[in-house]
Chain A
Amino acid sequence: MNPLLLKAFTATSCIGRGIAPTLDSLIAQRSGLAPCDFEAVELDIHVGAVERLDEETLPAELSRFDCRNNRLAHLALRQDDFDLRVREAAGRLGARRIGVFLGTSTSGILETELAYRRRDPSSGALPAAFDYGATHNSFSVADFVRRRLGLEGPAAVVSCACASSAKVFGTARRMIEAGVVDAALVGGVDSLCLTTLYGFHSLQLCSRLPCRPFDVERDGLSIGEAAAFALIEPVQAGAGIRLDAASDDVLLLGIGESSDAYHMSAPHPEGHGARRAMQEALASASLEPDAIDYINLHGTGTPSNDRAESQAVTSVFGAAVPCSSTKGATGHALGAAGALEAVISALALRHGLMPGGVNTVRVDPTLTAHYLRRNREARVTRVLSNSFGFGGTNCSLILGRAG
């Protein structure tokens, strides 16, 4: 593929609102996971919640989109002047020339869950104020974001469970290459809701403790919430890219997608689909495995994911390349995880930081991948980031320094 420039990016999660606090948390190896006190949930688990989302107010003309997921999007768009950067691009390229492709798994389903508690006692009807299309529907977040930023290009939500917001980079890559758009706003937004908390609990995939990816005693994931966005454009003179060694610019170099064709909620035990996604990403970037300096793992902390992913990583890269999961810090942001971890990968490149995986005390000796528990400071030229989801859907991204 032709490399694409991450012209601007931002992330908001339980470890920080915007890039600076997120980087500070990574440097301090601080976790944002805490005992769950969301919505009177009576589960003995930890979650990664974004504080004070209740205080967010959407613009009056978009009030029908009001829900936790769109509040999180609204909050995240304002960090790092991201909204201003997008408006600048719209002024330069035209609002119709920018596509909006966002990932989410549950969108604003929390609104429906709450509406079901307030059904009319006689008719059973949902409350009059409940707006399905603007809140619950998967497209709601993309529709909100495009209206909030005045973008008029093609728009869609990718909803492939936990690979959703990695796969949006693939859609954007194709749309830009085909000339359908000149730039794309990509990202992911997923917020806490009862369906995922009780759902993962029913599958016995939630840990009671803050999740410990790759730990010998790992026993499940911790759910988080996040919004992360990137504005991507082709690498060309007009985009003002710097290719010298001091450049801060980050490029999308490769992307690989595959399907397990194995099971709805369990990964292929030897990580066959994951391996193919990583190989495809390398092929699309025209890179050999030894070109990758650091791997940001999917690393959920469930026994089965980490075992399969470790095997897949080792089969492609050998056992030497440093890798870690940042989900011990952020929790698993599900449909937003791919974009959140793409932003973390961009920070790794920009600041020469391989973030160590927090919470993990003793790395499982049967996992052969080279798991980092402590931060490592070194020049990082290329990062691979993995995202895998229910339904056996896999996506790997390769990001690199421009200079």
Chain B
Amino acid sequence: MSIAGYVAGIGALGPGFGSWEDAQAVLSGRRRYEPSPTLLPAPILLPSTERRRTGRVVKLALAVAAEAVSRAGIPAQQLQSVFSSSGGDGHNCHEICQALAAVPREISPTRFSNSVHNAAAGYWSIATGATLASTVLCAFDGSFCAALLEALTQVSVDRAPVLLVAYDTEYPDPLRGKRPVPDALGVALVLTPSPGPGSAAYIEAKLGTDAAVSMTDPELEWLRTSIPAARSLPLLRQLALRSAGRTALEYLDVARLIVEVEPCR
């Protein structure tokens, strides 16, 4: 069975790009990459009571998911979802660890609820009313590839459209010293089993041992290697260029995910 699907919608947000349109201009070489701190929009999809509780990781995931879903034109309720992050909400984690090292040890119920790795997926389902299967993965620096493999497997086996959301945000000090993720970056793809009028490309994945592809622009290459979700950049570049080709993405020490891209005309 081919592990494959059609890209029906893309969302992207990171240092220096506020949407897939922005990212596309940079990745296709139409515009010079000018890094600037990632600006995260308020999670307007959520009811105000929930909105107040969310941190940067939820804002980021909801923003890119909403962009990809709106471009795909498929209601969120019809999508299974695969969320993936290397570390979840680093600021929330820092606050909890700090509180647990103090006397008396006390943590807030909201902080604890938000500490689960699937917080963004939970808020997304609350925001959109999506009740289909949703899973949340982690494979450290290979988290994007774990999610892409899982999402394309769902598309191929379940014959169902799937929303993939991969995102990482920075840890504050002192955790930043141990996990130096510099800023927030997220990417979302809506993948479908058959082509639609708006499909951008057909992509097919398999495991392999080719050397991982890097970015030619040194600043984009720095981004690729410093934020786990940015390991997706070589694939996004291929999609931005709308050209056929093969790209090897960093997954595990012993394996790359090889993705063949065939643009839809």
Contacts and interface: CB of A to CB of B under 8 A. Distances in A.
A264 B126 contact: yes
Contacts of B86: 137, 139
Contacts, number: 207
A171 B174 contact: no
A159 B156 CA distance: 23
Contacts of B53: 264
Interface in A76-126: 96, 105, 109, 112-113, 115-117, 119, 124-126
A259 B178 contact: no
Interface string B149-185: 1100110111000000000000001110111000000
Contact of B135 (A131, A155, A170, A392): A170
A161 B116 contact: yes
Contacts of A138: 87-88, 117, 138
Contacts of A157: 137-139
Interface in A243-279: 257-265, 272-273, 276
A202 B134 contact: no
Contacts of B107: 195, 198-199, 202
Nearest to B173: A124
A264 B255 contact: no
Interface stretch (A29-37, A60-68, A173-181): A173-181
Interface in B103-162: 105-109, 111-119, 121-123, 125-126, 128-140, 143, 146, 149-150, 153-154, 156-158
A276 B146 contact: no
A131 B175 CA distance: 10
A264 B130 contact: no
A112 B255 contact: no
Interface stretch (B63-71, B94-102, B240-248): B94-102
Given A156-B137, A178-B157, A203 B112 contact: yes
A26 to B, nearest CB: 29
A180 B206 CA distance: 8
B264 interface: no
A152 B121 contact: no
B1 A154 contact: no
A195 B140 CA distance: 21
Interface residues of A, number: 67
Contacts of A390: 113, 116, 118, 122
A391 B116 contact: yes
B180 to A, nearest CB: 10
Contacts of A261: 125-126, 128-131
Interface string A47-75: 00000000000000000000000000000
Nearest to B3: A178
Contact of B133 (A137, A159, A257): A257
B112 A392 contact: no
A194 interface: yes
A175 B115 CA distance: 28
A308 to B, nearest CB: 15
A142 interface: yes
B183 to A, nearest CB: 18
B26 interface: no
Given A116-B98, A198-B100, A159 B149 contact: no
A154 B148 CA distance: 12
A153 B208 CA distance: 10
B97 A113 contact: yes
A117 B100 CA distance: 9
Contacts of B153: 171, 174-175, 178, 180
B178 A126 contact: yes
Contacts of B215: none
Contacts of A42: 105
B128 to A, nearest CB: 7
A139 B100 contact: no
A262 B175 contact: no
Contacts of A180: 3, 149, 153, 207
B250 to A, nearest CB: 14
Contacts of A403: none
A167 interface: yes
A387 interface: no
Nearest to B53: A264
B100 A158 contact: no
B177 A126 contact: yes
A195 B122 contact: no
Contacts of A159: 116-118, 136-138
Contacts of A179: 1
Contact of A105 (B87, B117, B156, B178): B117
A263 B53 CA distance: 12
A260 B123 CA distance: 11
B252 interface: yes
Nearest to B86: A137
Given A126-B175, A156-B150, A392-B122, 20 more contacts: A116-B97, A126-B178, A130-B178, A154-B207, A156-B146, A157-B138, A159-B137, A160-B135, A161-B116, A170-B133, A194-B105, A195-B100, A198-B100, A198-B106, A203-B112, A257-B135, A258-B133, A259-B131, A264-B50, A390-B113
Interface of B: 1, 3, 50, 53, 86-88, 93, 96-98, 100-101, 105-109, 111-119, 121-123, 125-126, 128-140, 143, 146, 149-150, 153-154, 156-158, 173-175, 177-179, 207, 251-252, 254-255
3 nearest A-B pairs in the assembled complex, by CB-CB distance: A391-B122, A199-B112, A159-B117
9 contacts: A112-B175, A138-B117, A153-B255, A154-B255, A178-B3, A195-B107, A199-B109, A202-B108, A264-B114
